[in-house]
C-alpha cells in the first residue's frame, strides 16, 4: 500500500482574526481546517471561525467522514479524533443465492474502494437560472487491498461483492465549498471576499448549491504525484473571478472539483494586500 503524502503546505497557519463565515470578531475564534482533520488535511487557518459557524461546518463534514469514506479512512489508517474506536475488520456486502448479507473482513484483506461523487460543472457556467440542490453520480476507484474480483476467489459461492454507500450529496458539496473557501482565503486573504456567493452555500442559506460547486471536467489542474490532496486557487479574467480546483485523494488519481468564489473585491484588488505576483501566474481559461 502506498503511504499517504502530505503536500503543499503554503496554506499553513495563516492568521485571520475574524470568523471567515459570518465576520464576527469579538468572540472566541478557533482554528479552521480547510480539508477536514479526519481526511489528514494539512492546511489550517488560525483564529478563523466562531463557535456557531464551526458547529455548522462540522455537522456537514460528518456525512462524508462517517458515511461516504469510513472504510477508506480506516483502511488507510487516516487520522481520527476517535482512534481508539477504529475496528480491525470492515463490513463487506456479499450475496449468495439471491440473499445479501454483510460479512466482516480483516482490514488488510478488505477490497478498499474510494467512492467519488461526480457532478456537472457549477451551473453558473452553463445554466441561466439557479436550480435547487445538486445532481450527482457516484464512481468508485480501487485504492488498496484486493479488488472485488480477487476477493471473490476467497469466498467461493458468493456471486456479488459490494459496499454500502449512503451519503448526502448536499453535505459533500458544502464540504467542498468550505474547503475551497478556506484555501482561497489562505491564498489571497479574507479582504477579497466581500461579496462571495460561497458563504451562503456553506452556512446553508442558499439551497442552489450546484450553482456554485460541481466537478471540474477540463484538463486536470492538480497533479497526482505530490500530495494526498491538492488544491489550486486560480483566477479567470475579466473581473478576476476566483476559483478553487480541489482534488481530494489526488494521490490516487481521484477527480477534481470546482468551487466558484465570485469576483475579488475591486478595492482589495487595487490595494497592496492583493497578491499581484501570484495573480499573474494563476490564470485559467474557462
Interacting stretch for Zn ion, rule CB under 5 A, among 18-26, 91-99, 122-130, 255-263? Answer: 18-26
Q: Does 48 bind Zn ion (CB under 5 A)?
A: no
Closest distance between Zn ion and the C-beta of residue 48, in Å? Answer: 9
Place of cell 484486493: 146
CA-based nearest residue to 33, from 233, 163, 255, 186:
186
Nearer to Zn ion, 22 or 273 (CB): 22
Rounded to an integer, what distance in angstroms lies between the CA atom of residue 89 and that of residue 109?
A: 9
21 touches Zn ion (CB under 5 A): yes
Chain center to CA of 277: 27
Among 48, 50, 163, 213, binds Zn ion (CB under 5 A): 50
Q: How far is the CB of 49 from Zn ion (least distance, A)?
A: 6
3 state SS for 39-51: HCCCCEEEEEECH
Contact between 185 and Zn ion (CB under 5 A)? no
Least distance between Zn ion and beta carbon 27 (Å): 8
Cα dihedral value 267, 269, 272, 273, nearest 10: 100
Q: Decide: is 22 part of the binding site for Zn ion (CB under 5 A).
A: yes
Answer whether the bond into residue 238 is a cis peptide, omega within 30°.
Answer: yes
By CB under 5 A, tell whether 60 contacts Zn ion.
no
Over its C-alpha atoms, the chain yields an Rg (Å, rounded) of 20
State yes or no: residue 190 binds Zn ion (CB under 5 A): no
Segment 143 to 182, residues that bind Zn ion, using CB under 5 A: none
- Residues within the interface to Zn ion (CB under 5 A): 19, 21-22, 50, 53
Amino acid at each position: 500500500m502506498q503511504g499517504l503524502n502530505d503536500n503543499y503546505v503554503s496554506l499553513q497557519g495563516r492568521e485571520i482574526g475574524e470568523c471567515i463565515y459570518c465576520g464576527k470578531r469579538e468572540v472566541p475564534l478557533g482554528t479552521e481546517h480547510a480539508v477536514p482533520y479526519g481526511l489528514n488535511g494539512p492546511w489550517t487557518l488560525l483564529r478563523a471561525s466562531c463557535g456557531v459557524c464551526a458547529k455548522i461546518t462540522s455537522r456537514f463534514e460528518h456525512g462524508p467522514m462517517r458515511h461516504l469514506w469510513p472504510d477508506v479512512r480506516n483502511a488507510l489508517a487516516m487520522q481520527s479524533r476517535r482512534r481508539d474506536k477504529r475496528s480491525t475488520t470492515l463490513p463487506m456486502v456479499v450475496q449468495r443465492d439471491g440473499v445479501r448479507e454483510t460479512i466482516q473482513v480483516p482490514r488488510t484483506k478488505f477490497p478498499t474502494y474510494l467512492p467519488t461523487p461526480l457532478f456537472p460543472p457549477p451551473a453558473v457556467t452553463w445554466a441561466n437560472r439557479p436550480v435547487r440542490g445538486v445532481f450527482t453520480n457516484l464512481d468508485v476507484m480501487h485504492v488498496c487491498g484486493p479488488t472485488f474480483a480477487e476477493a471473490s476467489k476467497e469466498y467461493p459461492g458468493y456471486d456479488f461483492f459490494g459496499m454500502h454507500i449512503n451519503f448526502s450529496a448536499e453535505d459533500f458539496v458544502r464540504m467542498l465549498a468550505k474547503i475551497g473557501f478556506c484555501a482561497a482565503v489562505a491564498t489571497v486573504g479574507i479582504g477579497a471576499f466581500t461579496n462571495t456567493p460561497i458563504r451562503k452555500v456553506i452556512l446553508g442559506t442558499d439551497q442552489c448549491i450546484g450553482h456554485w460547486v460541481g466537478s471540474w471536467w477540463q484538463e486536470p489542474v492538480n497533479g497526482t504525484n505530490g500530495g494526498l490532496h491538492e488544491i489550486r486557487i486560480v483566477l479567470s479574467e475579466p473581473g478576476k473571478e476566483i476559483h478553487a480546483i480541489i482534488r481530494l485523494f489526488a494521490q490516487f488519481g481521484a477527480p477534481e472539483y470546482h468551487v466558484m468564489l465570485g469576483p475579488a473585491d475591486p478595492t482589495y484588488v487595487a490595494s497592496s494586500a492583493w497578491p499581484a505576483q501570484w495573480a499573474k501566474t494563476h490564470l485559467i481559461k474557462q
